[in-house]
Structure 1
Amino acid sequence: MNLKFTFSLLMLLFSLHSAHSIKCWDCRSDFDPKCGHPFDNSTFPITDCNFIDTFQGKSKGCRIMKKKENDIWIYNRSCAPPEEPQFDSERALCSNSNVECHTCYKNGCNSF
């Protein structure tokens, strides 16, 4: 009985933890043109941001970044960096004049 209760409690805690995670598309159009615009997500699995090592489960949003290189827009869809000082350099990319960034806060919202 005690083992069953412990297992049930662990499952409940795991489901609560995963319920707070956000899932985002994670791809780059310079590696796969389907990641560009228009976006074709038929070949990309959606990524649970809790499992991205860079942010260690701290991401609360999705990001789409467009960067112009040689007159071609490169799209990068990913989990957004958390609002913490150690990620300031990554967020600084979005202040560059040839880069456009948008952060959103719903599962799969970086598909536009």
Structure 2
Amino acid sequence: MARFALIVPVVLFAFFAHDADAVRCWTCSSDLNPLCNDPFLVSQSENSYLFRLENCDATSAVSYPYLTSSISACKKQKKFVHGALVISRGCTWKRKDDYTNTCPSTSTSANEVTSFCETCDYDGCNGAAAISKTIALVLAPLGLLLFK
């Protein structure tokens, strides 16, 4: 029984942990694809072929010049362009020592006003709200209690 109690947390950690490979982010914009809007439900859409997960490190040399001190991340941004709400999802770059989920500062014109911008660092995290980390935090102690 003690072995089983040790295996459960290890399996949970392996299931919810992600490796340090390049992050892959959903890439779309609601002004070009209305299905990119909220709620963003790729798996439930019959048009899921219209979405793709982009490897953020594939275009790193072009996108961000300070690669030695940066990491790739996913971004979800809501902004008003000429008064219309546009939701965009894609890749961005952050300093390695930036542990916040705020976007790096971006310049906007008078015609664009950002109302929300958030970053995350695991595959597909800029899609629908993910609860996998919450589930892991709840299940790990629960598993330890059940198999004590």
In 1, are the aligned partners of 2:57 and 2:72 still within 8 Å (CA)? no
Name the residue aligned to 1:23.
Answer: 24
Measured against aligned partners, the alpha-carbon deviations of 1:13-66 in whole angstroms (never above 9, x if no partner) come to xxxxx9521000111111111111121431211111111231377543111010
The 5-angstrom pairing of residues 60-71 of structure 1 reads: 60-71=72-83
Between structures 1 and 2, the one with greater helix share = 1
In 2, are the aligned partners of 1:55 and 1:82 still within 8 Å (CA)? no
Name the residue aligned to 2:105.
Answer: 92
The 5-angstrom pairing of residues 1-112 of structure 1 reads: 20-41=21-42, 42=48, 43-52=50-59, 53-55=62-64, 59-83=71-95, 91-93=104-106, 98-99=113-114, 100-112=116-128
Distance 1:91 1:110 in 2: 15
Provide the aligned C-alpha RMSD in A.
Answer: 3.1
Q: 1:78 deviation in Å?
A: 0.8
The one-letter code of the counterpart of 2:63 is T
Name the residue aligned to 2:15.
Answer: none
Q: Report the identity percentage.
A: 27
Stretches of 4+ aligned residues off by more than 4 angstroms: 94-97
Name which one, 1 or 2, has greater alpha-carbon Rg.
2
In 2, are the aligned partners of 1:63 and 1:102 still within 8 Å (CA)? yes
Distance 1:63 1:94, change over 3 A: farther
The one-letter code of the counterpart of 2:95 is E
**Secondary structure, aligned partner of 1:98:** strand
Q: Unpaired runs of 5+ in structure 1?
A: 1-17, 85-89
The one-letter code of the counterpart of 1:45 is R
